[in-house]
Structure 1
């Protein structure tokens, strides 16, 4: 038996070079990696994703106050553009 939970949404993303970002993040779910970067960031000219608002599927940043059992429990997150990637701006050290 499995339980479902409400996953936090990506309410804003300024990584305009990401293929999933076109008027917001349209990946089904993003992963935040061990350095608090968006592991789903993909730099392509082609735009992709679904007609949904992205959710945080997993968080590998174990020292974040929002991380519980490798899942993000923040109400929502924002993602910001970096030089060659994007980072979770909602990260807060525990």
Structure 2
């Protein structure tokens, strides 16, 4: 199990339409989904969300086929989120 202090950070997020992105991801933690490595935490609304600082981390990852995934926990040092197949995807995803 990954300890909270060892959770990978969201190094960058270039998805400007997300309510959590204010000069970086301000969600406390994000979840990476199983389809196309999408950011399940993505919110497309006019409301601004988050903790006010760009300190987001990866709370869970559903992509069991990623080389960085062990027991549905991300073990990459950091991830990058950006537009890809979905509105916001983990661009650090790498198939085993």
Same fold (TM over 0.5): yes
Taking a change above 3 Å as real, the CA distance of residues 67 and 84 of structure 1, as seen in their structure-2 partners, is closer
What residue ranges of structure 1 are gaps of 5+ in the alignment?
none
Aligned match of 2:31: 31
Cα distance in 2, alignment partners of residues 3 and 51 from structure 1: 24
**2:10 touches 2:58 (CA, 8 Å); kept in 1?**
yes
Taking a change above 3 Å as real, the CA distance of residues 54 and 16 of structure 1, as seen in their structure-2 partners, is same
Aligned match of 2:91: 89
Q: Deviations along 1:7-59, whole A, 9 cap, x unmatched?
A: 00001001100000010000000000002000000001111100341000000
What is the aligned residue count? Answer: 93
Taking a change above 3 Å as real, the CA distance of residues 3 and 68 of structure 1, as seen in their structure-2 partners, is closer
Cα distance in 2, alignment partners of residues 20 and 12 from structure 1: 12
Aligned match of 2:11: 11
What residue ranges of structure 2 are gaps of 5+ in the alignment?
none
Aligned match of 1:65: 67
Moved more, 48-57 or 83-92: 83-92
Cα distance in 2, alignment partners of residues 59 and 68 from structure 1: 9
Cα distance in 2, alignment partners of residues 87 and 43 from structure 1: 14
